Amino acid sequence: MAEMMFWEAVRRAHDEEMARDPMVICMGEDIGVAGGTYKATKGLYDKYGPERVIDTPISENGFTGLAIGASFIGVRPIVEIMSVNFAWLAMDQLFNSAAKVHYMSGGQLRAPVVVRSPGGTAHQLGAQHSARMEKVFMGIAGLRVVTPSNPRQAYGLLKSAVRCDDPVFINEHELMYNLKGEVPDEEYFMPLEGSEIAREGRDVTLFGYNISVHWALQAADVLAKHGIEAEVVDLFALNPIDREGIRQSVSKTHRAVIVEEAEPPVGVGSEVMAIINEECFFELDAPPVRVSAKNVPIPYNHKLEKAAIPSPDDVVRAVLKMFGK
């Protein structure tokens, strides 16, 4: 096991898959000569050349569609969209073409394309650069959505996504590229479905994904001092989402808090609550709670920005309240 940064893990997965299969290409804005905004493709242009490491024009819907078309006949593209805020522009091709072509062709065509893109609220990037779009992507039938919370997952999910014949959207986070973590030295493939228990506990389950796993873990540390043993479940797959994993953990702890960076309507929180309702309602000792962002566009002012998104403290407060403390 070696420690590496999140961006290095993503880069390593690219490199290995490109070395293995000449049909694997990567494309996006400033990913080639410049090595990518977050260095996820650093050095690959020199290694694999401009036919396979492609600097694109600023034409998100166009180059995503081009990648999807290429994937129809055997190319395995990894598309980087510089920020999820720009992925709004590519949603037509992603949703109308990639997600549906297998189905509407009666199984004749596949779109094995990977689209990676970082989202989240970073440092005062303002309303048009702070979207959290997982909630949008996870609701589209035919599109897989995964979202790594650490370098190991980032590496293993991309490795599997490239090999998988479905279109996969990988939701990364702008603030997490320098996060360090252990990554196996040998090749490693993560399943594209399921969840991981990031911390075992018996009193309450904190569901998180991507950055909110870290908030949940921090909250769990604090809660332990209050005598509450929180279990943290990392929902690294959002579509399909791990119904069975959710059921098992709630059946054990009997309480659930969902921690999400996005606004509450129609999101991971509401989805997990619905699943709890459907799968294990009678296991509950208390109504589930979600800790979400405020339902607002993200403001520029730092103080307001911080107030707009949840913090580990908010999670602690929500849990203590649930326990009547």
Partner 1 sequence: MNSSLKNTLSVESHKRLLREMLFARRFEERCYEAYVERKIGGFLHLYCGEEACAHGVIEAARPGHDYIITSYRDHIHAIKSGVDPKAVMAELFAKVTGTCKGLGGSMHIFGVDHRFMGGYALVGGPFPLAAGIAKGIKMKGGDEICICFLGDAANNQGTFHESLNMAALWELPVLYVCENNLYGIGTRIDRSTAVVDQYKRVSAYNIPSRQVDGQDIDVVYDAAVDAIEHVRSGKGPYFLELMTYRYRGHSMSDSNAYREKAEERRWGERDPVIILRDRLIEAGEMTLDDYKKLDHEILEQIEDEIIRFAEESPEPPLEMLEKYVLVENDPWVRGGAG
Ligand X SMILES: Cc1ncc(C[n+]2csc(CCOP(=O)(O)OP(=O)(O)O)c2C)c(N)n1
List interacting residues with partner 1 (CB under 8 A).
Answer: 29-30, 33-34, 55-62, 85-86, 88-89, 123-129, 294-297, 299-304, 307-308
CB of 44 to partner 1, least distance (A): 15
Nearer to partner 1, 6 or 45 (CB): 45
Q: Of ligand X, partner 1, none, which one does residue 34 interact with (CB within 5 to 8 Å by kind)?
A: partner 1
Choose, by CB under 6 A, the member of 19, 58, 127, 266 that binds ligand X. 58
The full 3-state SS of the chain, as one line of letters, equals: CEEEEHHHHHHHHHHHHHHHCCCEEEEECCCCCCCCCCCCCCCHHHHHCCCCEEECCCCHHHHHHHHHHHHHCCCEEEEECCCHHHHHHHHHHHHHHHCCHHHHCCCCCCCCCEEEEEECCCCCCCHHHCCCCHHHHCCCCCCEEECCCCHHHHHHHHHHHHHCCCCEEEEEECCCCCCEEEECCCCCCCCCCCCEEEECCCCEEEEECCHHHHHHHHHHHHHHHCCCCEEEEECCEEECECHHHHHHHHHHHCCEEEECCCCCCCCHHHHHHHHHHHHHHHHCCCCCEEECCCCCCCCCCHHHHHHHCCCHHHHHHHHHHHCCC
Check binding of 82 to ligand X (CB under 6 A): yes
Closest CB to ligand X among residues 38, 86: 86
Partner from ligand X, partner 1, none contacting 314, C-beta within 5 to 8 A by type? none
Q: Across the strands, what pairs with 164?
A: none
Among ligand X, partner 1, none, partner that 125 touches (CB below 5 to 8 angstroms by kind): partner 1
Give the nearer residue to partner 1 in terms of CB position, either 17 or 174: 174
Look at strands 2-5 and 24-28 and give their pairing.
unpaired
Q: Checking DSSP bridges between strand 196-199 and strand 168-173, what pairing results, if any? A: unpaired
Name the residue nearer to partner 1 (CB basis): 85 or 253: 85
Active site residue 123: no
127 binds ligand X per the rule CB under 6 A: no
Among 7, 86, 155, 236, binds ligand X (CB under 6 A): 86
For partner 1, which is the closer residue by CB, 83 or 212?
Answer: 83
Residue 72 binds: one of partner 1, ligand X, none (C-beta under 5 to 8 A by kind): none
Please give the Cα distance from 92 to 89 (Å, whole number): 7
Active site residue 60: yes
**Could you say whether residue 38 binds ligand X (CB under 6 A)?**
no
Active-site residue, from 8, 17, 29, 60: 60
Q: Identify the residue among 17, 18, 27, 29 touching ligand X (CB under 6 A).
A: 29
> Judged by CB, which is closer to partner 1: 48, or 155?
48
For the CB of residue 169, give the shortest distance to ligand X in the complex, in Å. 17
Residue ranges in contact with ligand X by CB under 6 A: 29, 58, 60, 82, 86, 89
Active site (catalytic) residues: 60, 129
